[in-house]
Amino acid sequence: MLKKLILAATLLAFGVVVLGAFVRLSDAGLGCPDWPGCYGKLSPAHAHQEIAQAHAEQPHGPVSSVKAWKEMVHRYFASTLGLLIVITGIMAWIKREQLKQSPGLPLFLIGFVILQGLFGMWTVTLKLTPIIVTLHLMGGMTTLALLTWQLQRQSRDIAAVRGVDAERMKPYATFALVVVFLQIALGGWVSSNYAALACPDFPTCKGTWLPAMDLHHAFQLVRDLGMTAQGALLPLEALTAIHWVHRIGALVTLLVVGLLAFKMLRIPALARAGVFIALILTAQICLGIANVLLSLPLPVAVSHNAVAALLLLSLVMLNYRLRKALGRA
């Protein structure tokens, strides 16, 4: 039962991450401008009058019935995920002796998902402040990764890897996991600053390999959306810098994860996983290019987030296998 609940939570966490990307990319993050309800009501249906009035005052603003439902459905799913994590944490504590596993991770997840809920609230109440939006995204990815690790702990049919192979591959797998996590953070920074189309061409940016950039303002973390830390409008060169750095990160990710997959292909116990990682990596690079060339179509942009989550999960699972082979999981 515990394994089934953790599996359900993991699948739901993946859905929440993808749904969160859909909400963000469809500009529905402020569809309900308060929290946890919608204009203090349980659902947009109950807040129909308030939503209609806000939409009438600002027809092209962030509030509409469709956007409100997108935002609230995301909250409903996230709340259900939080409840599942609490249940699995309690069960892991009760069954700790039977499972012969420390309940530390599932109990930590309870605290972490509460923090993630606070970031969801701050995303709304602080009006999509970029650093809060990015941290909320990374919190969702971290929750998904930790649930995947916890699910792996309950699985007994993981193919064995020789100790010598695990020892050799572990540094590459760990480094690849860190690189992918940082690249996802950069992608979140691109998205939260609406910089995805700051470079409208590929492989160059605005027709050159090194465009005019403002790195100083681009990575000022404490500032409002579209503004510098000093309160001035964020220059276009800063958005270009954000996008360009994410592209460099994509190149580093391609090299690091590509090398890891190549090395995995030479180890029979890891060859199938290596093919899977290589395919996901290829799909992610293609989706990133398509986002630029097709001007960020919503299905492609959401898929880019979903495949990033899959790449992260595949590396979490690989690292678990290697640590288990070394007796450290």
Q: Which residues are catalytic?
A: 71
Q: How far apart are CA 288 and CA 107, in angstroms?
A: 36
Q: How far apart are CA 290 and CA 284, in angstroms?
A: 10
Strand-pairing partners, residue 208, are: 205
**Is 78 within 8 Å of 117 (Cβ atoms)?**
yes
Strand-pairing partners, residue 38, are: 41
Beta-carbon contacts of residue 115 (< 8 Å; ≥ 6 apart):
139
What 8-state DSSP symbol labels residue 271?
H
What's the maximum distance between 2 C-alpha atoms anywhere in the chain? 66
Q: How far apart are CA 131 and CA 11, in angstroms?
A: 26
Residue with the two structure tokens 């510098």: 228
Phi, psi for 42 (deg, rounded to 5): -70, -35
Fill in the amino acid letter for 224: D
For 329, the token pair is 């999981």
**Is 247 within 8 Å of 190 (Cβ atoms)?**
no
Fill in the amino acid letter for 269: A
